C-alpha cells in the first residue's frame, strides 16, 4: 500500500486529527470559561486560583501511570474512555450549576478530573500516532496535529469560550462536553495496535507465579530507566523541560511587560498573544517540510537559537512591532521544535515503550512549567520583565549546546537502535 493511501481522509490518522481538533476547541472554551465560572461562583481569590491549578496537577501525579497504561491497554480505547470521562464530568458540573450547588469542592474536583482525562488522552494519542501514519510522514502528521490543537485551543476555542460565557455560564461547558463526545465517536473508527500483554501481564512481566500480578510500578520503572539511559532521549527530555519552563515563565511576566513597560491597553495584550499563536500555526504547517529540507539537527538546534534570540529581542526593545514579530517567531520556533522532537522520539522509541516514554517526557516537560513561572516572576519583581526575557533568551541559547552534542552523536544511529529495541 502506498503512503498516500495510508493517509486518505478516511484513514485512522484523519480520524485522530478530527478527534484532536474537536477536543482542542472544547478545551480552549473550557480554559476561557472555567476561570470566569470560578470567579462568578466563588468569593475567595485563593479558591479561584486553586481551581485553575487543579487542571494541571494531574500531569505531576499521573503522567507516569498514564504512560504505563497507554502501553498496557489499547490506546484508542483509552482515548475514548478519557473523552467519555471528561464529557460526564462536564455534564455533572452543568447539572450542579443549574441546581445552584456548584460550590468550591465540586468545582475543584471537576477541574481535577478534567485534567486527569487530558493526561490520559494526550499520553495515549501521541503513542498511537506512529501506528496510523507511515514513518516518513510522521513530522508532517505531527505538524498538522500540533497546528490543529493550537488553532482549536489557543485561537478559536478561547475566543468562542469567552463569548459564549456571556451568553450563559453553562453554554461553553455543554459545548465542551459535546466536543468530547464527537471526539469519542471519531475514534471508534481508528484501528491501532493491540498490546500483546494485557493489564495483568504487561511488557515487564516475568514468567512464573508472579506473572499474573499487576506490574504497573515495574512498567513505570522500566519506562523511566529506558529514557534516562538513552543519551538522545535524555537530552530531548531535559531540553523540553528547560524550554517549557522558560516559555511559561515569559508568559507569566508578559502581561507586566505589555502593561507597565510598553504601556499598552489590555486589548493589545490579547493581540500580542495571538501573534504567538499564529506563529505556532505557521510552524506546525511547515515543520515537516523544514525538517526534510535542512535536516533534523539544524531544525532542532536552529529553532532553539531562534527562540533564544527572540527572547533577547523582546528584552532589548520598546517598539511594539518588534515585540509582536519576536513573539510570533517564538511561537513558530517552539512549534517546529516540538514537532521535530516528538517525531524523532516516535521514530526511535519501540512501540511497546511509547506510552511510558511519553509519560516521562510530559512529566518533565510540563512539571517544570510552574517552576519557570515562579522563577521568572521573582526575576521580574526584582529586576523588571525585560530582565526575565533576557534570562530566558540566555538559558535557551545555552540549551543549544548539549542538545546539539546529543543529536550530532546519536542521530545517525536512531534506525539501528529502534530495530535493536524492537527485536525479540
Average pLDDT, the chain: 82
HEC assignment per residue over the chain: CCHHHHCCCCCHHHHHHHHHHHHHHHHHHHHHHHHHHHHHHCCCHHHHHHHHHHCCHHHHHHHHHHHHHHHHCCHHHHHHHHHHHHHHHHHHHHHHHHCCCCCHHHHHHHHHHHHHHHHHHHHHHHHHHHHCCCHHHHHHHHHHHHHHHHHHHHHHHHHHHHHHHHHCCCHHHHHHHHHHHHHHHHHCCCCCCCCCCCCCCCCCCCCCHHHHCCCHHHHHHHHHHHHHHCHHHHHHHHHHHHHHHHHHHHHHHHHHHHHHHCCCCHHHHHHHHHHHHHHHHHHHHHHHHHHHHHCHHHHHHHHHHHHHHHHHHHHHCCCHHHHHHHHHHHHHHHHHHHHHHHHHHHHHCCHHHHHHHHHHHHHHHHHCHHHHHHHHHHHHHHHCHHHHHHHHHHHHHHHHHHHHHHHHHHHHHHHHHHHHHHCC
Residues 180-206 have a mean pLDDT of: 66
Grid coordinates representing 272 are 500580542
pLDDT tens profile 26-49: 878 887 788 778 878 888 767 877
Residue 352 has pLDDT above 60, yes or no: yes
Residue 90 has pLDDT above 80, yes or no: yes
Higher pLDDT, 220 or 271: 220
CA 181, 55, 191, 182: dihedral to nearest 10 degrees?
20
Higher pLDDT, 351 or 273: 351
pLDDT at residue 211 in the model: 41
Cβ atoms within 10 A of the Cβ of 344, count? 24
Report the distance separating Cα 395 and Cα 413, nearest Å: 28
Report the distance separating Cα 238 and Cα 240, nearest Å: 5
Residue 80 has pLDDT above 90, yes or no: yes
pTM of the model: 0.73
pLDDT at residue 358 in the model: 87
Amino acid at each position: 500500500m502506498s503512503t498516500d493511501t495510508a493517509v486518505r481522509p478516511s484513514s485512522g490518522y484523519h480520524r485522530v486529527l478530527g478527534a484532536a481538533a474537536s477536543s482542542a476547541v472544547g478545551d480552549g472554551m473550557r480554559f476561557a470559561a472555567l476561570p470566569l465560572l470560578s470567579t462568578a461562583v466563588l468569593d475567595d481569590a485563593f479558591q479561584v486560583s486553586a481551581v485553575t491549578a487543579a487542571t494541571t496537577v494531574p500531569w505531576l501525579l499521573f503522567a507516569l501511570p498514564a504512560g504505563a497504561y497507554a502501553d498496557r491497554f489499547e490506546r484508542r480505547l483509552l482515548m475514548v474512555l478519557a473523552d467519555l470521562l471528561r464529557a460526564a464530568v462536564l455534564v455533572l458540573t452543568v447539572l450542579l450549576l443549574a441546581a445552584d450547588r456548584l460550590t468550591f469542592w465540586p468545582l475543584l474536583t471537576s477541574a481535577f478530573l478534567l485534567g486527569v482525562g487530558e493526561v490520559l488522552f494526550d499520553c495515549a494519542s501521541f503513542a498511537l500516532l506512529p501506528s496510523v501514519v507511515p514513518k516518513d510522514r510522521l513530522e508532517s502528521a505531527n505538524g498538522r496535529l500540533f497546528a490543529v490543537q493550537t488553532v482549536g485551543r489557543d485561537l478559536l476555542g478561547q475566543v468562542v469560550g469567552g463569548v459564549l460565557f456571556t451568553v450563559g455560564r453553562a453554554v461553553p461547558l455543554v459545548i465542551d462536553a459535546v466536543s468530547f463526545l464527537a471526539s469519542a465517536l471519531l475514534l471508534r473508527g481508528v484501528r491501532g495496535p493491540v498490546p500483546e500483554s494485557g493489564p495483568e501481564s504487561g511488557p515487564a512481566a516475568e514468567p512464573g507465579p508472579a506473572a499474573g500480578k499487576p506490574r504497573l510500578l515495574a512498567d513505570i520503572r522500566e519506562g523511566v530507566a529506558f529514557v534516562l539511559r538513552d543519551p538522545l532521549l535524555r537530552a530531548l527530555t531535559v531540553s523540553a523541560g528547560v524550554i517549557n519552563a522558560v516559555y511559561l515563565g515569559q508568559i507569566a511576566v508578559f502581561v507586566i511587560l505589555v502593561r507597565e513597560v510598553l504601556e499598552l491597553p489590555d486589548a493589545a495584550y490579547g493581540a500580542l498573544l495571538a501573534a504567538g499563536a499564529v506563529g505556532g500555526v505557521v510552524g506546525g504547517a511547515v515543520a515537516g517540510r523544514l525538517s526534510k529540507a535542512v535536516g533534523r539537527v539544524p531544525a532542532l538546534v536552529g529553532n532553539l537559537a531562534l527562540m533564544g534570540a527572540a527572547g533577547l529581542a523582546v528584552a532589548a526593545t520598546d517598539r511594539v512591532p518588534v515585540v509582536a514579530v519576536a513573539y510570533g517567531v517564538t511561537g513558530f520556533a517552539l512549534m517546529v521544535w516540538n514537532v521535530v522532537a516528538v517525531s524523532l522520539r516516535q521514530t526511535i522509541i519501540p512501540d511497546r515503550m511509547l506510552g511510558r516514554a511519553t509519560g516521562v517526557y510530559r512529566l518533565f516537560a510540563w512539571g517544570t512549567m510552574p517552576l519557570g513561572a515562579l522563577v521568572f516572576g521573582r526575576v521580574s519583581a526584582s529586576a523588571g520583565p525585560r530582565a526575565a526575557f533576557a534570562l530566558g533568551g540566555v538559558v535557551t541559547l545555552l540549551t543549544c549546546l548539549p542538545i546539539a552534542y546529543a543529536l550530532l552523536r546519536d542521530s545517525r544511529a536512531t534506525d539501528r537502535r529502534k530495530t535493536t529495541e524492537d527485536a525479540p
